[in-house]
Structure 1
Amino acid sequence: MAIFRRLIWCLLVAVVAPAGAATVRICVQNIDYYPHYDFSKLPGRGYAADLFALFTAKTGVKITLLPLPVKRLQDNPECQLVYPDNPQWHSAKGEQQPLYFSQSFTGIIGSTVVRRGEGHIELSAIRAIAVPRGFTPDHLLAVQQNYSFNLVEVSDATAALQMLLKKRVDAADVEWHVAKYLINKLGQPDALEIGRLLPLASVGFHLSSRDHGELLRRFDLFLLQYQSEVAQLKARYQLQTVEQLKINIVEPQSPAPSDQ
């Protein structure tokens, strides 16, 4: 057993050890999605920015970040790696070209948030949901045809939450950690909660690459070797899973047919 552990350690050292002047270029979304990340300005801030800095500190591999619009991240020859990405986003488009993925760095909770005290409102009672421009709410689109709610596109997540607080919509499609951060900035930290009977998506954030699977394996081994430090980063930014929040992902049922 001791020999096996030593072999594993040697493998980790070989792959994760400092690599001198080696540099990795990661293309990232040029948006503010704090606390997960904010790469609207470099060097960036939030969990992902700190995680990349930790990777460099522990491995010696330098990272160059290239912020780009979401639509320019894929199939871009300038990008060795892309963050964030998820296999589901590609399979939903029917893409056939092989793509490599790292292990998940963290997970998001694509929640439908409501005003405090309305956490058990049913989807049949929802008439309008605010959606930030540029985000595709697949978990809402999948059930929209069976219900009568409208998706109201707004400029960003802050605008979506403000519409909800002003009762201009019944809910807002905003990732839960992002919603908590923004609602604190608005000075109303206890004004919202997750709609526990409304559509919710739990999605992992990965690195991806078309051609650099070996770089992703290096990140995977880094996550394994420094899992304690990674956990501390998640705790610093208060990133939680649906299990930690004790939330069940509920599949909305089709409404009962009317007697009329």
Structure 2
Amino acid sequence: MSAPVAAESYVVGVEALSFAPHYSVDKQGHYQGFARELLDLFAADSGVELVYRPLPVNQLLPALLEGRVDFKYPDSDLWAQEQKAGTGISYSKPVVDYVDGVLVAPSRVGQPVSSLKRLSIVEGWTPWAYEQQVENQQVKLSYSPDLRKMIQQALKKDTDGAYFNIVVATHYLDNIRARPGALVFDPKLPHTRGSFHLSTIKHPELIQRFDRFLLEHSAEVSALKNKYQVEANLDSEFMGMEQWKVDFLKRQKAKAAAGD
């Protein structure tokens, strides 16, 4: 009998970061969340093996450029453009959409951008929507080492708001900090929309397979997005709102419509 053929094996460089529900790394170093489940589904469908290597965010791109990992997730052609110039990175189709914006105390919702003087932000993040205000010194950034400390700063009112991924910050407040609604996204303030992609230098052919997987298994991908709520209400007036409140407001709207 011939020996079984070993599956193609690839190393995916991922962020060693608590970024639930998108992804996180537990105390044992296991990568988990929406991204893990999606990439595992792709691996099973394609007959390949994916090995996840969590790295500090600032080490992830160098690991890709130096060939120490085969793929990077998440990535975007808009990020670190100078470092990537001439490297020939291939990007997948969008995997998941996101919104980065400012969460404020409910009493501050609707105030003009000029009222924002100090903004909490996690080290390594760039508040693209506020570059001009920062450059003109209208907004001062207050850096924190992680999401927990950034949220703490904003809750203590040491700053006027916190700039982060809206879904992740809301998930943290609702499920981990257990302070739902203590800070809420203000959609009238400047915010940025974008997408996460899978990237590679060495294996563009596998990116093409991944793109086909996203297309052919769109129903399963959508089910995973719903399971983890990674795009929860990104295209509605409920963006950044706790789920119980969304459900309540939808019921109220349905009652009002039925009354008409």
Q: Is TM > 0.5 for Structure 1 vs Structure 2?
A: yes
Match of 2:202 in 1: 211
Match of 2:173 in 1: 183
Q: Secondary structure in 1 aligned to 2:124?
A: coil
Match of 1:199 in 2: 190
Alignment length (residue pairs): 230
CA distance in 1, matches of 2:116, 2:233: 23
Mind listing any 5+ residue stretches in structure 1 that lack a counterpart?
1-18, 249-260
**Among residues 55, 75, 83, which one is paired with 2:73 in the alignment?**
83
Matches within 5 A, 1:48-67: 48-67=35-54
1:182 Cα deviation from its structure 2 partner:
1.2
Please identify runs of 4+ aligned residues in structure 1 that moved more than 4 A: none
User: 1:109-128 deviations in whole A, cap 9, x for unaligned?
Assistant: 11111112422121101111
> TM (normalized to structure 2)?
0.81
Cα RMSD, aligned residues only:
2.2
Q: Secondary structure in 2 aligned to 1:33?
A: coil
Contact 1:20 1:60 in 2 (8 A): no
CA distance in 2, matches of 1:182, 1:47: 15
Match of 1:174 in 2: 164
Match of 2:93 in 1: 103
Between the aligned residues of both structures, percent identity stands at: 27
Match of 1:30 in 2: 16
Q: Does 1:138 align with 2:128?
A: yes
Q: Report the residue type matching 1:205 in the other structure.
A: F
1:92 Cα deviation from its structure 2 partner:
6.0
User: 1:70-95 deviations in whole A, cap 9, x for unaligned?
Assistant: 23222131211111110011436672
User: 1:10-49 deviations in whole A, cap 9, x for unaligned?
Assistant: xxxxxxxxx9612221111111111111136543111101
Contact 1:102 1:207 in 2 (8 A): yes
Q: Report the residue type matching 1:67 in the other structure.
A: P
Q: Secondary structure in 2 aligned to 1:89?
A: coil
1:154 Cα deviation from its structure 2 partner:
1.4
CA distance in 1, matches of 2:57, 2:80: 14
User: 1:140-187 deviations in whole A, cap 9, x for unaligned?
Assistant: 223323462210111211111122122111100121111111112222
Q: Secondary structure in 1 aligned to 2:114?
A: helix
CA distance in 1, matches of 2:29, 2:48: 18
Contact 2:97 2:193 in 1 (8 A): yes
Contact 2:99 2:165 in 1 (8 A): yes
1:247 Cα deviation from its structure 2 partner:
8.2
> TM (normalized to structure 1)?
0.81
Match of 1:251 in 2: none
Q: Could you say if the C-alpha distance between residues 135 and 224 of structure 1 is closer, same or farther in structure 2, counting changes exceeding 3 Å?
A: same
CA distance in 1, matches of 2:73, 2:185: 26
**Among residues 51, 55, 63, which one is paired with 1:68 in the alignment?**
55
Q: Report the residue type matching 2:57 in the other structure.
A: V
CA distance in 2, matches of 1:111, 1:143: 14
1:104 Cα deviation from its structure 2 partner:
1.1
Q: Secondary structure in 1 aligned to 2:111?
A: coil
Q: Does 1:165 align with 2:155?
A: yes
- Identify the structure with the greater helix proportion: 2
Mind listing any 5+ residue stretches in structure 2 that lack a counterpart?
240-260
CA distance in 1, matches of 2:137, 2:114: 6
Match of 1:7 in 2: none
